[in-house]
Structure 1
């Protein structure tokens, strides 16, 4: 994926970019890429940026979580995002 292709992702409808900036000097470096299709979801959580370096060149670690919307895993992810949203 090129940098230009990465930038195009942000132009898609329903693509949200959340940056956590806490005045208590917390810095969240983890990234989450979240997708829904029908009743299923996929979340990719890890250290990689959505760049050539992050996806191809650097040594990064991410994990993929898939499941049904409304499941315990899905609820846990949304509780976490809701907590983070107070930092926006």
Structure 2
């Protein structure tokens, strides 16, 4: 137990000495670009000749779907997708 306590103290010191990472800054047009890519993806998912493959690819990229309460959204909730953002965006590329 004392060995674990020592490790805890050491890790707390590492955390205290580690600077806070800078805030992630996203490009201001990123939401609009994502919207276009998702709309393109929705069209691809509805094409009968690729529907099965596209659906499987999309399912592999999404690890979690969260329903988030939002009084201003239709139905009072928004869906939040969690997963491989870079992979999702790449699906919209030709």
Of structures 1 and 2, the one with the larger relative CO (CA 8 A, separation 6+) is: 1
Q: Counting strand residues as a fraction of each chain, which structure ranks higher?
A: 1
Shorter-chain TM-score above 0.5: no
State which structure, 1 or 2, has the greater radius of gyration over its C-alpha atoms: 2
**TM-score, normalization: structure 2?**
0.22
**TM-score, normalization: structure 1?**
0.22
